[in-house]
Structure 1
Amino acid sequence: MREILDDLSDMLSDADPVRRAQIKSRQPLPQRFYESADIGETADGYSILLDGKPIRTPAKQLLELPTRKLAELLCAEWNAQSEEINPVSMPVTRLVNTAIDGVAADPQALVEDILRFAGTDLLCYRADGPQRLVERQTEMWDPVVDWAQTTLGARFLLAEGVMHVEQPKESIAAVGIHLSAFDGPIAIASLHTFTTLTGSALLAMAVAREFLTAEDAWTAAHVDEDWNAEQWGEDAEARARRDFRWGEMQAADRALKSLS
C-alpha cells in the first residue's frame, strides 16, 4: 500500500493543473486499494483513515485537519473514488496537501502574492468600449470596488485599457491587514486559489468575507471572456479549461467555509 500511496502523492503534489494532467497521462491511475475512508481523531484535530491507516501528505507529513467539516470533505472525496483513484476528482485533498506541505512553512509568501494581485487587480482595469461591455464591467465590478473602500478601508483607482495605474500604498496595506485574519495555511491557500483563478484579490476577499458567493465572483471574473464568447463563439477547449478551474474554485470555497 505504501508504494501506491507514494505514486498517488506524486500526482497530488503539483499545484499546476496542466502539470498534474501531464503526470497523470504518463502513468496509469492507481487501483483503489481500500474498502473505506473514515475520519479519525488526533491530538490536534482530525485525520483521514483508509481501512484504519492514516493518510500522509506527499512530504510524508500526517494529513491532519483542524475541523471535522473539512475532514468530511476529504473523506467524501476518497470514498467517491471508484475502481481507480483519480487525483483530478480530489481538489480539496490537493489543496490541503499544498497547504500542509508548502504554505504552512511560508504563509507570508502567498500573502505577498495576493497583495501583488491587488496592486494590478482585474477590477481596476476597464474597457473603453464597446458600451455594453463597459456597462457590464461597471455593473459587476463597481459594487466590489465600493465594498473594498467602505469595508476594507482600501480605495482603488480605476483605469481604462492596460496602462498601469499605481494603487495607493495605504490601500494595499489595508488589504494586508484584513488578510492577516486568515492565518491558517488552509485558509491562506484557499484565498490564494480564489485570487489566482479570478485574477483579483478584491474578488477573493469579497468571497472570503461573504460579500459575494463564489459563483458571483466567478461570473464577475469572466465578464470579458463571456463578452468575447457572445461575439465570436465559444472554444470547446477553453470551456473545458474553465469548467475545470471552476471546480477548483468551488473546492477552495468549500474548504474555507469548513474551517468555521
Structure 2
Amino acid sequence: MTGNNRDRHGVGQKRFWSNASVIAGPHGYTVTLDGKPVRLPGRASLRVISKPLAEALAAEWQAAGADNPAKRFGPDALPLTRIAGAMIERIEPHRDHAVATLAGYGEYDLLCYHTGDDKSAAARENEMWHPWLNWLRERHGIDLHVTTGIMPVVQPAAVKKGFSGLLGEKSDAELAALGVAVPALGSLVLGLAVTEGSLSAQDAVNIASLDERTQMQRWGQDPALLDHVAVVAADVMDAKRFIMLATAQAD
C-alpha cells in the first residue's frame, strides 16, 4: 500500500512524501500524501468514514520512514492501513466470503480443544477457557461442543448458522478487525469478545497462549514461542485499536 508509488518487488518502499494529511469529502475522509490520495494495492483510495480513524491512519503514514528516509520500510510500519485496506478492497466487495471464513474459525475454535492427559493443564484450561464459552452462549446463544485431544469435534449445525448470522450483522470495520484478531488468536470466541469490548486485547492473548506459556513454565523460555506470542499480541492490539477508532466519534 503506497501513496502513488507501489513497490513491485515486495521489499518495502522508501519515503517519498513530506506530509500526510486528511481531506474531508462527501464519502468520508481520505488520507493523502502531499495532497495525493494514498492508493491501496487494488488502486482504491484510502478513505474511511471515521475521522478519528482517518487521522490515525495519516499519523501512521507521517511516521513511516521518518527516522531514515533513505531506508525502506515494510507493511509492519502501517498496521492500521493494512486493516483498512482489507476492509476497503476485500471485505466491502466480498462480505459473504469474509463472513464464511470467520464463521469457519468458530467451528474449530481453540477453546473447544482441551488437553486430555495433563490434569494440571486441563484445570487451567477449564479456568481460563470455559468462562468465554459461557459468555458466547449467554450473550449470543451459540453453544460450542468441547473435546479433548486433537481429533476434530463436529459442531451442531446451529453453531455455523449462529456464527453466520452474528457475523452478518457486523460492520465492515468489525469484520476487518476480526479478520486480524481471529486468525492470530485461533479463536472466533475470543476475537468477538475483544471487538465487542468484553475482553481486553492482552487478556485475550494470555488466554489464547495458555498452552505456550504452560510449555515454557515446564521446559524454560523458548525464543520462538516468545516471538510468536509477541506477534499475536501486536496483531490483536492493532485490531482492537482499529475498531475503537472506527467507531469513535469525532470531537
TM-score, reference length from structure 2: 0.89
Match of 2:211 in 1: 224
User: Where does residue 48 of structure 1 map in the other structure?
Assistant: 31
Matched, 1:30 2:13: yes
Structure 1 residue 30, shift from structure 2 partner: 3.0
Q: In the TM superposition, what is the alpha-carbon distance from 1:111 to its structure 2 partner?
A: 1.0
Query: In angstroms, what is the RMSD of aligned CA positions?
Result: 1.9
Query: 1:132 offset after TM fit, Å?
Result: 2.1
In 2, the alpha carbon distance for the partners of 1:115 and 1:196 equals: 11
Partner-residue secondary structure (3-state), 1:102: helix
Hey, what's the Cα distance between the residues in 2 that align with 1:73 and 1:233?
Answer: 39
Deviation at 1:209, TM superposition (A): 1.6
Instruction: Work out the CA distance in 2 between the residues paired with 1:137 and 1:124.
Output: 10
Aligned residues: 241
- Provide the rounded CA distance (Å) in 1 between the counterparts of 2:13 and 2:179: 30
Letter aligned with residue 199 of structure 1: G
What CA distance in whole angstroms lies between the structure 2 residues aligned with 1:218 and 1:245? 7
**C-alpha separation in 2, matches of 1:112 and 1:215:** 27
* TM superposition shift of 1:241: 3.7
Counterpart check, 1:110 vs 2:98? yes
SS of corresponding position for 1:234: coil
Preserved CA contact (<8 Å) 1:4 1:30: no
Q: Tell me, what secondary structure is at the counterpart of 2:152?
A: coil
Q: Equivalent residues in 2 for 1:1-260 (5 A)?
A: 5-7=5-7, 23-24=10-11, 29-81=12-64, 82=66, 83-84=68-69, 86=73, 87-184=75-172, 186-260=173-247
Code of the residue aligned with 2:48 in structure 1: it is: L
Asked if structure 2 preserves the Cα contact closer than 8 Å seen for 1:42 and 1:64, the reply is no
Q: What SS does the aligned partner of 1:49 have?
A: strand
Q: Which amino acid aligns with 2:90?
A: G
**1:14-33 CA-partner distances (Å, limit 9, x unpaired):** xxxxxxxxx33xxxx43322
User: 61-70 or 125-134: which moved more?
Assistant: 125-134
Deviation readout 1:11-69 (Å, 9 max, x if unpaired): 7xxxxxxxxxxx33xxxx43322222111112111011212222111111111111011
Task: Between 113-122 and 242-251, report the one with greater CA deviation.
Answer: 242-251
With normalisation by structure 1, the TM-score equals: 0.86
Query: Within 1, Cα distance between the matches of 2:243 and 2:35?
Result: 27
- Alpha-carbon distance, 1:192 to partner: 1.8
State how far apart, in whole Å, the 2-side matches of 1:228 and 1:51 are.
50
* Contact 1:214–1:253 (CA under 8 A) maintained in structure 2: yes
What SS is found at the alignment partner of 2:92?
A: helix
CA drift of 1:89 comes to 1.5
* C-alpha displacement of 1:3: 9.0
Deviation of the 1:144 alpha carbon: 0.4
Instruction: Give the conservation status (yes or no) of the 8 Å contact 1:119–1:167.
Output: yes
Distance in 1 between residues matched to 2:13 and 2:102, nearest whole Å: 35
Q: After TM superposition, where is structure 1 displaced by more than 4 Å over at least 4 residues in a row?
A: none
Cα deviation 1:100-142 (Å, max 9, x = unaligned): 2222221211211111111111101110232221121111111
Cα offset, 1:4, TM superposition: 6.5
More helix by share: 1
CA distance in 2 between counterparts of 1:89 and 1:242 reads 19
The answer on whether the counterparts of 1:122 and 1:199 sit within 8 Å (CA) in structure 2 is: yes
Residues 124, 159 of structure 1: 8 Å contact kept: yes
Q: Distance in 2 between matches of 1:135 and 1:241?
A: 24
